[in-house]
Amino acid sequence: MSAPLTSLDRPNSYIGRSVPRPNAKRLLAGRGRYVSDLKLPRMLHAAFLRSPHAHAKIVAIKTDAARAVEGVHLVATGADFARICTPWTGTLDHFKGMTSTPQWPLPLDRVVWAGQAMVAVVAESRAIAEDALELIEVDYEDLPIVVDIDGARKPGGPVINPGSASNVCFRSQLDSGTVDDAFMHAAHVVEEEFTFGRHTAVTLEPRALVADYDPSAGMLTVHHGTQTPYQFQDLYSRHYGIPEARVRVIATDIGGSFGMKLHVYHEDMAVVGLSILLGRPVKYVADRMESFVSDIHARDHRVRARMALDAKGEILAMDVVDLTAIGAFSTYPRTSVVEGNQVIRLIGAPYRLTNYRAALEVIFQNKVQTSQYRAVGHPIACAVTERLVDMAASKIGLDAFAIRELNVIPDDAYPQTSPTGYRFEALSHQACLKRLHEMMDYDGLRAEQADLRKRGIYRGIGIAAFVEITNPSPAFYGVGGARISSQDGAILSLTPSGEVRCLISVTEQGQGTEAIISQIVADQLGVAQDHVRVITGDTEVTPHGGATWACRGAGIGGETALQATRVLKRNILEIAALILQEQPSALDIIDGEVVDVATGKPRLPIAEIARIAYFRSDTLPPGAQAQLTVSHHFAPQGYPFAFTNGIQGCLLEVDVETGLIKLLKHFIVEDCGRIINPMLVDEQLRGGIVQGLGAALFEECRYSDTGQLMNGSLADYLVPMPMEMPDIVIAHVETPTADTVLGAKGVGEAGTAAASACVLNAVNDAFAPFDATINSIPITPAKILKALKRF
């Protein structure tokens, strides 16, 4: 063998290795256990009557005919729930002045968006429940509808929440440096107004839960397709007044989530209430149409931004106003202002920037709530920043790479604090830029572009640098008073046969949590990966923790597993030392065997240690108590977030006759710190990029001016399909965080963060020969033709 040995050549070295996910075989065989598959004895089914009006007073609800249908067990309205459930309000304390009205499972007197669940029917089958819904009559009294941002902000216009002076949910300002001064002395100023349409997660499995309240035990079990079982345990307990230890939330296989399945939905709270009212299991699975009108949407923003530069092209200042409309309530418990807050704080993040001003206004409207969805705020911040950088480059006559090289924070200049208060430990923009330039064969692409242009073929090349927020500390929700954990917990046992069981609070939605945790445990303990079984997603079994959101699975969950494993290893070696009459420090574990550190000679299998400890403790010296189960928690300290970075590139072709865009190739160079499983990281990036590309070109929740969602089905709402998606080339730079032993940061949002910015820049690049620009996402054929003045 000629290649030098690397750390991957050690036995049981799994960190950094592309191993397949052990649990994926079940899913491939059709043996997934999704909540939508679940059937319990005596289980009933819920369906909801939904409001046809975007804003109306509920005058009367007549349910007698529905109640009389054979097979119907219960028809419940808002008042029935208000008796057993306390309301919730989606505000956080550190967002000063933020407002939102209290919410109940079903509304008491008003509906505030078209599609809002109004009345629940529980029956022996979903079909019977739906039949009964048809027999319910509701008298509504129309109220004025507030649909768009301008309408919502009109002084003296209709106000959605009674008792409020306006439709403003929250306002925030950032101001640092001397922005006006910088603009006054700038050699160049670029300015643009951007609009970002609403889109939604469209997980392939819709939201699903089975609530099972057992009155004899006073125990609530909820099988819930969610990423955050502990959060729901807490919420069900507090809002329904059931002691927390008697609420169990089980989240087994989840058919896609992306942030959408961690918010409190009215129907989900209602289903828990229905089970309590009936004392029987009640199942609810949203159908696709219901998903479109009731899952959270995201990204409804209008941003006006300007950038000042000096004569050389150095960025001097940015000035930004973000208006975002969030629906009629702020979501609970994370709130709907987090996205806007992240937009204004992430704008300009890759660049040396000291003069920065931003205003955020978050506005209510009569539409379904918007809230956190994959890469919260990132795509908007990135698109605004990167488009302005490109506009500046063409104004000054600089190349897209050159202007970024001139302005990114240098790789040796860390730590850095952004003017918006983010503290960056170590990022690698320069290295990523350089790598992308080579990987794309940028000069070759430019030459080809010029050639093709002569033949009437219009290609665009777009790049976009980004900064991603990962590993959130308690500074995220904890300080705002939300009971959302930033710590994770693991319980690790050596079983009597010498295998390892790891119960951990981070959850699996297909990104490979269980695989990477088993890699970390196997690596750190010195056993084969298939001797490690990882169990996630059951609040009765796994210790409390944040679970999986905002890119914390590897960085926080992984570190928890690593630290827990080190404790277990120490305990195993202590027992081994007693048995072998050796110093623990002279021993190590390799391949499931205790070995001499010095010689590597095997001394005793760990299975033998387990056997002695569990079955022959009489042979251990007096006073020895084997601790072969350890419980360990870890909360991030040090930097409030582990920021990551990267850059994406996109090559596409615009058909100027039809307005259609063909994506030809996509590129990403990304730095998520220590990589645990390169294959899983790459697949996270690809999946994320495709979500961003969908947003860039296809996805938009389109409303009529009466507040009706007009494209609420998979036939009308376009999602990225295999045919339209390009191949994606990936490279990595690794800058581990020094805050943890593992050094891992998150990677889940990176793909989505910059994909639409890249496409926006590429389309505008393709437009270079024309007097045309585009500043709105999604970039539809109609918008292209309009920009080209052909429509």
Q: CB count, 10 Å around CB of 154?
A: 12
CA distance 321 to 641: 25
Under the criterion CB under 6 A, does residue 32 sit at the interface with ligand FES?
no
Query: Is 41 a residue that touches another protein (CB under 8 A)?
Result: no
Say which entry of ligand FES, another protein, none residue 713 contacts (CB below 5 to 8 A, set by partner kind): another protein
Q: Using the rule CB under 8 A, is 727 a contact of another protein?
A: yes
Is residue 294 a contact partner of residue 437, using CB atoms and an 8 Å limit?
no
Residue placing its CB nearer to ligand FES in the complex, 201 or 562: 201
Our finding on whether 255 is near another protein (CB under 8 A) is: yes
Q: Does 414 bind another protein (CB under 8 A)?
A: no
Check: CB of residue 362 under 8 Å from CB of residue 326: yes
- Please report, as residue ranges, which positions from 483 to 522 form the binding site for another protein (by CB under 8 A): 509-512
Interface residue with another protein among 348, 687, 707, 778 (CB under 8 A) is 687
Taking residue 174's Cβ as centre, other Cβ atoms within 10 Å add up to 17
Whether 393 contacts 354, CB under 8 Å: no
Task: Report which of 71, 52, 69 is spatially closest to residue 118, judged by C-alpha positions.
Answer: 52
CB distance 384 to 349 below 8 Å = no
Q: Which residue is nearest to ligand FES (CB)?
A: 204
Q: Tell me how crowded residue 71 is: count the other CB atoms within 10 A of its CB.
A: 15
- Which amino acid would we find at residue 407? N
Count of residues in contact with another protein, rule CB under 8 A: 61
Instruction: Please list every residue from 743 through 762 that binds another protein, using CB under 8 A.
Output: 751
Q: Which amino acid is at 108?
A: L
Q: At closest approach, how far in Å is the CB of 549 from ligand FES? A: 17
Cβ atoms of 473 and 636 closer than 8 Å: yes
The strand pairing partners of 679, in sequence order, are: none
Among 30, 41, 162, 456, the residue binding another protein under the rule CB under 8 A is 30
Which residue of 10, 31, 312, 570 would you call a contact of another protein, by CB under 8 A?
Answer: 31
* β-pair partners for 472: none
510 part of the interface to ligand FES, by CB under 6 A: yes
Number of H helices, E strands in the chain: 20, 31
Provide the minimum distance between the beta carbon of 714 and ligand FES in the complex, in angstroms, as a whole number: 7
Looking at beta carbons only, is 103 or 548 nearer to another protein?
548
Site for ligand FES in 109-148 (CB under 6 A): none
Under rule CB under 6 A, residue 688 binds ligand FES: no
- When binding is defined by CB under 6 A, the residue of 256, 605, 726, 781 that contacts ligand FES is 256
Residue identified by tokens 């994909």 is 755
Residue 715 near another protein by CB under 8 A: yes
Question: Is 225 a residue that touches ligand FES (CB under 6 A)?
Answer: no
The answer to the question of residue 678 lying near ligand FES (CB under 6 A) is no
What does the alpha-carbon distance between residue 178 and residue 298 come to, in Å, rounded to a whole number?
A: 33
Closest separation in Å from C-beta 686 to another protein: 3
* Interface map 124-163 toward another protein (x if CB under 8 A): ---xx--x--xx-x--------------------------
Joined tokens for residue 488: 């994770």
CA distances from 229 to 538, 541, 542, 560, 614 (A): 7, 12, 10, 18, 33
Of the residues 447, 721, 768, 782, which one makes contact with another protein according to CB under 8 A: 721
**Interatomic CA distance for residues 382 and 502, integer angstroms:** 38
Which residues within the stretch 215-254 sit at the binding site for another protein (CB under 8 A)? 253-254
Q: Is the dihedral of CA 769, 770, 774, 780 positive or negative?
A: negative
Q: Which two tokens stand for residue 102?
A: 């209290």
What whole-number distance in Å separates Cα of residue 56 and Cα of residue 720? 35
29 binds another protein (CB under 8 A): yes
x/- binding map, residues 50-79, to another protein, per CB under 8 A?
A: ---------------x---x----------
Quote the CA–CA distance of 367 and 485 in Å, as a whole number. 30
Residues 3-22 contacting another protein, CB under 8 A? 20-21
Which of 60, 204, 217, 715 touches ligand FES (CB under 6 A)? Answer: 204
Q: For ligand FES, how many residues bind (rule: CB under 6 A)? A: 3
Give the residue among 267, 451, 305, 273 at the shortest CA–CA distance from 381. 305
Toward ligand FES, which CB reaches closer, 407 or 684? 684
CB of 510 to ligand FES, least distance (A): 6
Q: Return the residue of 99, 172, 203, 369 that touches another protein, per CB under 8 A.
A: 203
Distance CA 703, CA 365 (A): 12
Query: 87: buried, middle or exposed (CB in 10 Å: 19+, 13-18, 0-12)?
Result: middle
**Binds another protein by CB under 8 A, chosen from 48, 170, 258, 364:** 258
Q: Smallest Cα–Cα separation from 407: which of 465, 469, 342?
A: 465
Phi, psi (rounded to 5 degrees) for 9:
-85, -10
Contact residues for another protein (CB under 8 A)? 20-21, 24-32, 34, 36-37, 39, 65, 69, 127-128, 131, 134-135, 137, 201-206, 253-258, 287-288, 509-512, 679-680, 683, 685-687, 689-691, 713-715, 719, 721-723, 725, 727-728, 751
Contact residues for ligand FES (CB under 6 A)? 204, 256, 510
